[in-house]
Amino acid sequence: MRIMARFNTQLVHGLPVNDNNTGAVNPPIYNSSTYAFESVESMPRWDYARSGNPTREFLEKQIAQLEHGTRGFAFGSGLAAIHAVLSIFQPGDRIIAGDNVYGGSYSQLNEHFNRWGLLVDSVDTCNLTDVERAVAGHDANGRFPAKAIYFETITNPLLKVNDVYAIAEIAHRYGAIVIVDNTFVTPYLQNPLDLGADIVLHSATKYLAGHSDVIAGLVVTKDDRLGQRVYFAQNRLGGVLAPTECDSVRRGIQTLALRLERQQENAISVAKYLLNHPLVRNVYYPGLTDGENLVAKGLRGAGGVLSFEVVKGIDPSDVLNNLRLFRLAVSLGAVESLAELPCRMTHFELPRDERLKVGITDELIRLSIGIEDARDLTEDLAQAFEKAAEACLIAREKPLDESALV
């Protein structure tokens, strides 16, 4: 009899591939590019590793189980996963994208797929009236109904919470597919397919792997029809995740719940500290005030990423360059805390006027909170703020170099 395991148990055990009888506790890593046929006439389950691999299948079945989907797919990066999903569309298809997405996603949509004939329109996905207008299109401006809408569960880097259920209801009314990037919250905090989404994406590099040691992307489809289309793209484009990296993601998933609980606790502490700091103008973290809003939108938490703006006159680089515990680095979701400047790092692909239009200012700093002691994190921020304030005072008191005016 099959045991109907709960989520935390699914994280540890996954679904067996039944590929060996050694009694090994962990699934084997199959570093084989090809597999022997018993005969010319046979149709083996495994033939060539691009088309399928037992180690990869374990991970793909596990993420499908965790996201309540029918099929899962593992790719060599988050952007490779996005590329495979978007490649299921045809030239002339119109895609609606959230106006506050990761810079790499923006670039892929607007600098790659538009060259292949996809039409991309952006919209504030938190404004449901604008979402419906964008998805529906309008004959007067030649914009026919969209084929899909792509957005992030919680936006990057301003942490706006999208209503997956409401957006899916609108999109399906016009026959559009709903594609949700669930990287920031993972299936531990939300299951978009249960809320009406058709495809879920993850940069598994982030929370799922969780240790800044692997690059990976995952996709889950709600039904097998979409699964067949994504598998065709995976197999023909070939951006598959290697077996060793698949195992690294599997091992990371085992501790997802433990890590994310600590990261959320720390994020709340850091956000409250920033909220009361005189050098901070705005703090963006839905876990501060949006508890009821999170629940209403199908979320079980706010994750471990937050962002904030420093007051005018303070150079955000002076804060970031003086951090000692936080690592100045892109990415997020790992056990160590990271800090970055979106305008120069994760979102540099967006033209400045586009960044400012959606609220990504030059003073915005993004933090990915790790599992360290929260007191150490706030103390690190405190000493960095002190040095940034000193630099600001020195800059104000510096005498004018009259020769520069000549």
CATH number at residue 284: 3.90.1150.10
| Catalytic residue from among 99, 124, 163, 181 | 181
Q: Mark which of 234, 250, 266 sits at the end of a domain.
A: 250
Asked, for residue 81, whether it belongs to a domain, the answer is yes
Asked, for residue 297, whether it belongs to a domain, the answer is yes
* Residues 168 and 137 grouped into a single domain: yes
* Residues 109 and 237 grouped into a single domain: yes
* Residues 157 and 264 grouped into a single domain: no
Question: By three-state DSSP, how is residue 352 classified?
Answer: helix
Q: How far is CA 327 from CA 1, 252, 281, 369, in A?
A: 48, 20, 23, 11
Q: How many domains does the chain have?
A: 2
Q: In one letter, which amino acid is 203?
A: S
206 catalytic? Reply is yes
For the stretch 169-199, pLDDT in tens is 999 999 999 999 999 999 999 999 999 999 9
102 catalytic? Reply is yes
pLDDT value of residue 5: 85
At 140, give phi and psi (nearest 5°): -65, -35
| Catalytic residue from among 71, 94, 99, 102 | 102
Do residues 161 and 297 lie in contact, with contact meaning Cβ atoms separated by under 8 Å?
yes
Asked, for residue 266, whether it belongs to a domain, the answer is yes
Other Cβ atoms within 10 Å of 34 Cβ, number: 10
pLDDT value of residue 4: 63
For the chain, first and last CA: distance in Å? 86
Q: How far is CA 34 from CA 31, 48, 51, 52, 204, in A?
A: 9, 5, 10, 10, 26
| Catalytic residue from among 50, 61, 281, 327 | 50
Asked, for residue 402, whether it belongs to a domain, the answer is no
* Residues 244 and 289 grouped into a single domain: no
* Confidence band for 406, pLDDT divided at 50, 70 and 90: very low
Q: Tell me the pLDDT of the chain averaged across its residues.
A: 93
Question: What span, in angstroms and rounded, lies between the C-alpha atoms of 225 and 69?
Answer: 12
* Residues 189 and 261 grouped into a single domain: no
| pLDDT average, residue stretch 141-166 | 92
* Confidence band for 81, pLDDT divided at 50, 70 and 90: very high
Q: Mark which of 191, 220, 250 sits at the end of a domain.
A: 250
Q: 156 pLDDT exceeds 50?
A: yes
Task: Domain of residue 82: give its range.
Answer: 5-250
Question: What span, in angstroms and rounded, lies between the C-alpha atoms of 40 and 180?
Answer: 42
- The model's pTM is 0.93
* Residues 204 and 87 grouped into a single domain: yes
Asked, for residue 192, whether it belongs to a domain, the answer is yes
Q: What is the DSSP letter of 161?
A: B
pLDDT value of residue 197: 98
| Catalytic residue from among 206, 250, 259, 355 | 206
Do residues 324 and 313 lie in contact, with contact meaning Cβ atoms separated by under 8 Å?
no
Q: 142 pLDDT exceeds 70?
A: no
Question: By three-state DSSP, how is residue 219 classified?
Answer: strand
* Confidence band for 1, pLDDT divided at 50, 70 and 90: very low
* Confidence band for 62, pLDDT divided at 50, 70 and 90: very high
* Residues 171 and 271 grouped into a single domain: no
Q: 307 pLDDT exceeds 50?
A: yes
376 catalytic? Reply is no
Q: 74 pLDDT exceeds 90?
A: yes
Other Cβ atoms within 10 Å of 333 Cβ, number: 29
Q: Mark which of 230, 250, 270 sits at the end of a domain.
A: 250
Asked, for residue 406, whether it belongs to a domain, the answer is no
* Residues 219 and 311 grouped into a single domain: no
* Residues 314 and 238 grouped into a single domain: no
* Residues 340 and 374 grouped into a single domain: yes
Asked, for residue 401, whether it belongs to a domain, the answer is no
Query: Which residue bears the tokens 């006159």?
Result: 313
User: What token pair was written down for 231?
Assistant: 């598998």
Q: Exposed, middle or buried: residue 146 (CB in 10 Å: 0-12, 13-18, 19+)?
A: buried
* Residues 64 and 87 grouped into a single domain: yes
Tell me which residue of 239, 246, 169 sits closest to 204, measured CA to CA: 246
Asked, for residue 289, whether it belongs to a domain, the answer is yes
* Residues 210 and 345 grouped into a single domain: no
* Confidence band for 400, pLDDT divided at 50, 70 and 90: very low
CATH classification at residue 235:
3.40.640.10
pLDDT value of residue 300: 96
Q: 2 pLDDT exceeds 60?
A: no
